[in-house]
Structure 1
Amino acid sequence: MVFGIVPRMMINEIDGVDWESMGHAYGPACDVPGWLKGMASADPGVRDEAFSDFYSAAHHQGDVYPCTAASLPFLFEMADSPATPDRGSVIELLLSIGQECLDMDPEVVYFTPDGTESRAHVDALALIGERAEVFVRWVMDPDEEVRRPAIECLGLFLADSARALEVLGSLLAGSGMVQRLLVVRAVATVALRDAAVHGAAAGWLDTLAGDTAQVPEVRLAALVHRVRCTPGELGDAVVPAAVGLIREIAPEETGGDDDAPCRTEAEPEVAAGTAPSPGVPPQIAAAFEDLERHGRVHAPTTSLLEAFHTVLDDRVLERTALLTEQLRSADPGVRYDAIRMARELIGQWRGDHSGLVVLVAECLRPEDPYTSAAAAEALGALVPVSEPARDALAAYVEAARAEHGPGVWAARGRLVRRAHQEAVRALACLGDLRALPCVLEALDEGIDAWRAVQVAGHLGEAAGDLTPRLSKLLAEVDFSDASQSMSANALVSALKELADPAAGPALASAVAAAVREEQWHTAASALKALASFGPGSAFALDVIRRLADAQDVTVRAAATAALWELEGDAADVVPRLVELLDTHADDEAAAVLGRIGPAAAPALPRLRKMLTAGYEWTRVYAAASLWDIGGDAEAPAVVETLLAAWAENDSTSNHVLACLSRMGPAARPALPRVREELTLLRRSGRFRDIPNDEDLLAACRSITTRI
C-alpha cells in the first residue's frame, strides 16, 4: 500500500488513537486507520477499496459509530491537503456522515453492534460544526469535484446562516449547470434549518424563479425549492409553471436531441449467458447489476424533480401532469429518469394511470435499447395496470426479432439483449402468448433461462409447451448445491402456476431430492405444487404420507395439507393440523382447516384461543378458519378480529377481504371500513404492490355491491 503522500504527522496521529477499543459493524475498529491511510494513497485501486471498506463497516448503512466520529479530524485534514489525490470523495464522506447525524435524534442514546451505548452522532455533529468554516474555502476551490459536496456541506453545517446565504449567492454566476442547481438547493436547505433567514432565502428563490435571463433548469430549481420552503403555500399555478419550464429545456443544453438515445457510460459487451462467480446464483448477480443501474442519473434536473414529486405527495393529478411533460421532454435524459418516477407514482398511488403507461410504452424505441430496457422493466413491474402497453411491447419484441434474428434473446450486445428480454418478460406477465416463442427459445437454449422461468407461469394457455421444458430443467437441478435453490424454487413456482398435472412426476422427484439434501423450503414448495393438482397427484401419496410425520415443521405442514387435497380424509388430517396450530406453521394449518370446513369442528376451541394472539397475522388466519368451519355462530368475533387486524396492519387486508367476501351478509358490520378503503388514494394490500392492491379494490367493490 502506497502512503507516500500522507503527512508523517498525520500517520502518527492516526496510529495514536485507541482504535481497538472501538468497534464498527463487523468487529473491532483496528482496521480503520488502514482505511484512512488508504484513502490518501496514490494508487486509485487502493483508494477505492479503502473508501468501500470504510462505508461498508465504519459507516455501515449510514450508521455513525465512535470510530466514525474519531475518523473525522483525519478526514478534514485529508480534504484540506492539496496532496490528497481525491479530495472530493473525502468531502462526500464527510457530507454523508454529517447528514446521517442530522437525521438522528440528538436526545437519544444509540447502541453499537456490541451493545455499547453511543452518542457518537452528537460528538460527530459538534466536530463538523466546529470546523464548518473550512467549507467556505472549499466552495471556492478550483476543483469542481471539491466544490460540489462542499456546497451541500455549507448549506447544512455553517452556523452563520446569513453568511452561508451570502456565500452561496456569490457562487451562482459563472458556475456550471450542476453547481448552480446545487447552490439553489443549498439555499433552500439553509432556509429550512434556520427560520431567521427563511424570508430572505425564499425571496431570493422567488426572484431567481422569475429571472428570464436564467436558463430554465435554474428557474425550475428555484421554483421547486421555493415550494419546498413553504409546502403549505403550494398554489394551483406552480405545477403549470414547472411544466412550462420543462418544455423550455432544450436538448442541446444537455447534449441530446429529441430522437437521440439516452447517453450513458458504455456498458461492456458481455456475452449472453456469461456465468457469475462460482456459487453466486444468477438472480443475485443480476440484482446487484440492477442496483448499480438504478442509481444512475441522466439529467441535471432529476434530483430536483424528485424533490418536487416528494412535496406534491398525494396530489396525483398534478404529479401526473408533471410526469406527462417529463416523459415528453425533448431531452432524452429527462425522459429516461421520468420512467422511474412514473413507475414509483403508479406503484404507490391509485388512479387511472393509462396515460402515463402509454407514454412509458412510447419510450420503447429500437434505436435506443438502453431506454427501452428501462421502459420495458417498468411496464413489467406495473402489471396489471400496464395493460395499455400490451401491443407496444409485442411490437417491440417482434421488431427486435426481425432486426436481430430469432436468437435475439441471447444477443451478444448487452443493451439489445437486456431490452429484448425485459420486453418479453413484461409481455409474458400480461399473459400474452406473443411472448411464447422467445420464452421457449430461452428454455431450449439455456441462455439466461432463469429470466424466462420467472415469467413462464403467466402463460397458462401454453402449459402444453412449457410444462415439459420446465420439468426437464427441474430434473437437472443439483439439490446438493445450495446456490441452485433459487432456480429450483422458481421452477416449482412456475409449474404450480401453469396448473398442468403432467408436472407431477417431476415435482415428486424434486420433493425426494430436496428432502435428501435437507432443502426443506424447496421440498415444502414442491409439496404445495403437488397438492394444487389435487387427486391428480395421488401417485405420490406414499412419499407425501411419510413426510406428514417429518421433523421439519414446514415440510410436515405442506405434506399434511397435501394429504387433505389428495385424499380428503378429515379424520386423518384434522388431528395433525390441530397439532400444527402450536407451531410456526399455524397459519398454513389454519388455512387448511378452513378449507376442510365443518368437518374440522374439533379445531374450533384452539382456533378461538388464537383470536387473542399477539401477532395480527395469527389472528387473521384463525378468524378466517373459524368462519369457514363454524359459520354464522362465529361471525361477530370473526368480523371484530378481522377489522382490528386490518387497522393494526393493512398488509393483512387481502386476507381480511377474502374472508369478508365469503361471509356475505354476515360481514355487513365491516361495510363502513370497506367503503372507506375505496376512497383512499395510497395503495395498500399485501406488500403494497400493484397486483395485491388491485385485487383488494376489486374485492371491496364486489362486497359493497353484494352485501
Structure 2
Amino acid sequence: MKSPAELEDVQWHTLTHAYGSAEDVPELIRALYQGDEETADEAIHELYGNIHHQGTVYPASAPAVPFLAHAVQHAPGKREDLLMLLATLADHGQGDTESPRWPGSSVAAICAELARVLPGLLPCLEDTERGVRRAALRVVAAVAELLPAEVRGEVPARVEVLYATDPVPAVRADAMVVLTRSGSSRVEEALDSPLPEVRVAAAVLAAERSGPPYAPRLVRILADDGGDPDPGDDSFPWPGTGSPDQHLTELLAQDPDAGLTVAAGWIRAGDIGSRGSWLAQQIMETWRGREPEVLDLLLAALPHRADAGTLSYGLSTIGRWIRHIPEPAPELRDALYEYARTEQEESAGPALLALTHSGDPRALDLVLQRPDAQTLKAAALSFPEAGDRLIPAIRSALAAGATGNAAIDLVGALERFGTAAGQARPELVDCLRTGRGAIAAARLLGCTGVPSPEPTALLLEAVQSADASLSIAAAVAHYQLSGEAEPALRTVETLLATAKGPTHWHLVSLTPLGSAAAPLLPTIEPLLTARYDWTRMAAAEAHHAITGSPDRAVPVLAELVSAAPVGLSALKALAATGELPEHLRPTLRAFAFSPLRLLSDTPFSEEAHPDEELRALAWRLLTDG
C-alpha cells in the first residue's frame, strides 16, 4: 500500500485515463482523506468516471490501486465504496487470463497490484459492517485465481469462517462464491443449505457451469428462493459490473423454458420489484414465439402492481406486445376491457390502447367514447374497416387544433384508410397551413388528395421551408398532385449537394417520383458505392424506382441484407425488385427459422415488430422463389 505522501513518486502526467492525462488523479485520492463525506463521494464518483469508465480501464488505473488500498484502511468512512472500486477495476472474465492479450494489459496490471496489496485488505473480511465484508469478498474474488501461493493458502481459511459463521446470509452466499472461485467448490453442498441466499448463489454458479438447459433442481431453487432478494443487499453489483438481477436475468434468458418457470414462481410470490415480470419480458424479447406464455404471466402480475404508475407500465408492456399475437387469449382481452372501463385514467388509457391493439371489437366503442390521438391511430390500424366511424372522430380532433405528436398520430391514423382519407382534406390543408404535423399532412395530401389550387399552392410554398424534411415531403406531394417534377428534382438535388450528414432520408423520398426522377441519376449512381451503408441502400432503392431495372440495385442490396435495421430495409427493397440472388437463400433460411429474435422491437412504434417483418419477408421470398 502507498500513502498520499508517495503520490508525487508517480509520473501521473505520463499516464492516461478516460479523459486524457491522469494529472488529476492525485488530487482525487487526497480528497478521500479530508474527512468531508460529500468531497469523498465526489472524488469516488470521478474515479469511477476516469480510471474506470463504462467497463474500461486505463494505464493510470493500476498505479492508483496501492493508493486506493491505503485509503481503505486510513480514509474515514469509505471502506465499502473504495473496496468496490478496487473490485470493479480488477473485474475480468475467467477466460481473460488465457488470452494472448492478457500480459501487458491494463487489467492484468491492476490485478497484479491488487494481489500484492490484498494481504493488507484481508482484515476487512472481519469488519463489523456487512457492506464492507461483502465488498472485501468481492475484492478477493476479483483476483482469487491470481494470488501468489503464500496468500492463496491464507484466504480460504478466512473465507471459510465467513461461510460457516457470518450472521448475514448474503455474506455467507458471497463467501461460498469466493471459495468456489478459489478452487474449493462448495456448490453441491450449498444447494442444500438451509439459507435461501446461499442456495440461490449456488444455483447460479451451477447454471453458469453447466450452461442451458438448466437442471430442474436448479430451476426449482431459483424459482422458489430467488424471487425475494435480500432487502439489505444494496452493495455494488457482483459479479461483473451489471446488477445481480441483470446477471441472473441474462443467465435465465438463455433457457426460455427455465426462465419462464422461474418468472412464474417469482410472480406467484408477489412479483417483488417486478422481477418476475421483467424476466418474462426479457425472454419474450430474446426468443420468438413466447408471447402468449409471457402475456399470461404479465397478466398474472398486474394485481401485484400496487400503485398507478407501475400498473400503467405493466399495461403498457402488454399493449406493446399484444399486437404481435394473432389471437390473444379471451381472458387477457376481458381483463384489459375491465381495466379500460375504469375511471382511473392512468391505467384506463394504457389498458384501452392494449385492448385496441388486440383487435377486440369492444375497444372501438370505448375509443370513440373518449378519443385521443394515440388510441385513434391504434384503432385505425386494428379496425381499417371502421373508417366510417373513425374518420369523423379523427377529423374532429384535427379541427380542434391538435398539435405536436398528437397531430402526427392523427394524420398517421388517416393514412390507414387509403383514398377514404381524402375526406379529411380540409383538415390536412389546415395542418399544413398552420404547421401542425405538417410533414405527415403533406405526405398524405400527395397520396390521397385531388388536385386543387389551395393544397397545391400551399405545398409549393412549403417546398421553400428551412426544414429539409418538410421541404422534400412537400415537393414530392406537389409532384403527386400536379405532375410537375421540377420542384421536387430541384429540392432533392439541393439537399443532396448541401447535406452535412446522412443523405439516405432524402433518397428514400424519391420512390414516388419513379422515372420522373431520371435527371437525378448522375447524382445517385455514385452513391451506390458510398461508405455509409444506409446511403448505399437508399441509393439502390431509388435507382431501381427510377429505372425499373434491378441490375445496379440488386448487387448493392444483396450485400447489405443482414439481421440489422439497414439489412431489413435492404431486404424490403430487394423484394420490390422481384430478384433473389441464389447465394442469399441460406441467409434467408436462417432469418426464417431462427428460434432467437434477430432484431429488437422499436419502442412506441405502431408498426410490426422488425423481427417479425424479417422472418415473414424471408419466408415469403423463399417460398415465392
Give the TM-score band, short-chain normalised. 0.7 to 0.9
Shift in alpha-carbon separation, 1:572–1:523, aligned structure 2, 3 A:
closer
User: Which of 411, 431, 441 is residue 496 of structure 1 equivalent to?
Assistant: 411
The 1-side partners of 2:247 and 2:314 are apart by 21
Shift in alpha-carbon separation, 1:304–1:544, aligned structure 2, 3 A:
closer
User: Which of 410, 432, 435 is residue 508 of structure 1 equivalent to?
Assistant: 432
- Please name the residue that 1:385 is paired with: 324
- Please name the residue that 1:148 is paired with: 134
- 1:395 aligned onto 2:325: no
Shift in alpha-carbon separation, 1:641–1:366, aligned structure 2, 3 A:
same
The 2-side partners of 1:657 and 1:228 are apart by 37
- Please name the residue that 2:207 is paired with: 227
1:561 maps to a residue whose letter is V
- Please name the residue that 1:242 is paired with: 218
CA distances 1:561-614 after superposition (whole Å, capped 9, x unpaired): 333344343355346545655555642443333333344444455544433333
1:508 maps to a residue whose letter is L
**Where do residues 549-698 of structure 1 align in structure 2 (5 Å cutoff)?**
549=464, 553-570=468-485, 572-574=487-489, 576-577=491-492, 580-581=495-496, 583=499, 584=501, 586-604=503-521, 606-631=523-548, 634-647=549-562, 650-664=564-578, 666-667=579-580, 669=582, 670-685=584-599, 691-698=609-616
The 2-side partners of 1:503 and 1:121 are apart by 63
Secondary structure of the residue that 2:91 maps to in structure 1? helix
Shift in alpha-carbon separation, 1:66–1:554, aligned structure 2, 3 A:
farther
User: Which of 337, 351, 354 is residue 292 of structure 2 equivalent to?
Assistant: 354
Give the Å deviation of 1:644. Answer: 1.1
User: Which of 109, 121, 124 is residue 138 of structure 1 equivalent to?
Assistant: 124
> Is 2:558–2:571's contact at 8 Å kept on the other side of the alignment?
no
Secondary structure of the residue that 1:564 maps to in structure 2? helix
> Is 2:271–2:277's contact at 8 Å kept on the other side of the alignment?
no
CA distances 1:102-123 after superposition (whole Å, capped 9, x unpaired): 99999879xxxxxxxx975554
> Is 2:207–2:218's contact at 8 Å kept on the other side of the alignment?
no
Shift in alpha-carbon separation, 1:103–1:205, aligned structure 2, 3 A:
closer
CA distances 1:282-330 after superposition (whole Å, capped 9, x unpaired): xxxxxxxxxxxxx998xx8x466335326xx3x44444444444444x3
- Please name the residue that 2:66 is paired with: 73
> Is 2:515–2:547's contact at 8 Å kept on the other side of the alignment?
yes
Residue segments in structure 2 that go unaligned for 5+ positions in a row:
234-240, 384-389, 415-420
> Is 2:18–2:51's contact at 8 Å kept on the other side of the alignment?
yes
Question: In terms of mean alpha carbon deviation, does 30-39 or 651-660 score higher?
Answer: 30-39
> Is 1:377–1:422's contact at 8 Å kept on the other side of the alignment?
yes
- Please name the residue that 1:701 is paired with: 619
- The TM-score with structure 2 as length reference comes to 0.76
- Please name the residue that 2:236 is paired with: none
The 1-side partners of 2:177 and 2:198 are apart by 10
Give the Å deviation of 1:555. Answer: 4.8
> Is 2:4–2:29's contact at 8 Å kept on the other side of the alignment?
no
> Is 1:364–1:392's contact at 8 Å kept on the other side of the alignment?
no
Give the Å deviation of 1:645. Answer: 0.6
Give the Å deviation of 1:245. Answer: 2.3
2:71 maps to a residue whose letter is M
Give the Å deviation of 1:678. Answer: 0.8
Give the Å deviation of 1:337. Answer: 0.9
2:188 maps to a residue whose letter is D
> Is 1:574–1:600's contact at 8 Å kept on the other side of the alignment?
yes
CA distances 1:69-96 after superposition (whole Å, capped 9, x unpaired): 5543332222223x62232122122222
Secondary structure of the residue that 1:635 maps to in structure 2? coil
- Please name the residue that 1:458 is paired with: 378
Give the Å deviation of 1:646. Answer: 0.8
Q: How many residues align?
A: 583
> Is 2:72–2:82's contact at 8 Å kept on the other side of the alignment?
yes
1:142 maps to a residue whose letter is T
The 1-side partners of 2:296 and 2:265 are apart by 13
- Please name the residue that 1:333 is paired with: 272
> Is 1:538–1:566's contact at 8 Å kept on the other side of the alignment?
no
- 1:178 aligned onto 2:170: yes
Secondary structure of the residue that 2:412 maps to in structure 1? helix
The 2-side partners of 1:589 and 1:349 are apart by 35
- 1:309 aligned onto 2:252: yes
- The TM-score with structure 1 as length reference comes to 0.68
The 2-side partners of 1:677 and 1:139 are apart by 51
Secondary structure of the residue that 1:363 maps to in structure 2? helix
Task: Give percent identity, aligned residues only.
Answer: 22
Shift in alpha-carbon separation, 1:504–1:374, aligned structure 2, 3 A:
closer
Secondary structure of the residue that 1:173 maps to in structure 2? helix
Shift in alpha-carbon separation, 1:363–1:557, aligned structure 2, 3 A:
same
Shift in alpha-carbon separation, 1:349–1:19, aligned structure 2, 3 A:
same
User: Which of 136, 143, 147 is residue 160 of structure 1 equivalent to?
Assistant: 147
> Is 2:57–2:89's contact at 8 Å kept on the other side of the alignment?
yes
Shift in alpha-carbon separation, 1:575–1:35, aligned structure 2, 3 A:
same
CA distances 1:224-267 after superposition (whole Å, capped 9, x unpaired): 31232353xx5x6x33222332454398x869xxxxxxx999xx
2:596 maps to a residue whose letter is R
Shift in alpha-carbon separation, 1:463–1:40, aligned structure 2, 3 A:
farther
Secondary structure of the residue that 1:132 maps to in structure 2? helix
Secondary structure of the residue that 1:382 maps to in structure 2? helix
Shift in alpha-carbon separation, 1:122–1:546, aligned structure 2, 3 A:
farther
2:249 maps to a residue whose letter is E
2:511 maps to a residue whose letter is G
The 2-side partners of 1:492 and 1:121 are apart by 53
The 2-side partners of 1:58 and 1:620 are apart by 41
> Is 1:453–1:491's contact at 8 Å kept on the other side of the alignment?
yes
2:88 maps to a residue whose letter is S
> Is 1:360–1:375's contact at 8 Å kept on the other side of the alignment?
yes
The 2-side partners of 1:94 and 1:529 are apart by 59
Give the Å deviation of 1:131. Answer: 1.3
Secondary structure of the residue that 1:309 maps to in structure 2? helix
The 2-side partners of 1:46 and 1:397 are apart by 54
**Where do residues 62-461 of structure 1 align in structure 2 (5 Å cutoff)?**
62-65=55-58, 68-81=61-74, 84-99=76-91, 121=107, 123-158=109-144, 159-160=146-147, 163=153, 164-175=155-166, 176-190=168-182, 197=183, 200-201=184-185, 204-209=186-191, 212-231=192-211, 238-246=214-222, 248-249=224-225, 302=245, 305-306=248-249, 308-309=251-252, 313=254, 315-328=255-268, 330=269, 332-333=271-272, 336-365=274-303, 368-369=306-307, 372-385=311-324, 388=328, 392=332, 395=335, 398-399=338-339, 402=342, 406=343, 408-409=344-345, 417=346, 423=351, 426-427=354-355, 457-460=377-380
> Is 1:671–1:704's contact at 8 Å kept on the other side of the alignment?
yes
- Please name the residue that 2:237 is paired with: none
Shift in alpha-carbon separation, 1:103–1:230, aligned structure 2, 3 A:
closer
Give the Å deviation of 1:359. Answer: 1.0
- Please name the residue that 2:417 is paired with: none
CA distances 1:611-638 after superposition (whole Å, capped 9, x unpaired): 333333223223333333333xx33543
RMSD value over aligned CA atoms?
A: 4.6
Shift in alpha-carbon separation, 1:101–1:332, aligned structure 2, 3 A:
closer
> Is 2:291–2:321's contact at 8 Å kept on the other side of the alignment?
no
> Is 2:286–2:597's contact at 8 Å kept on the other side of the alignment?
yes
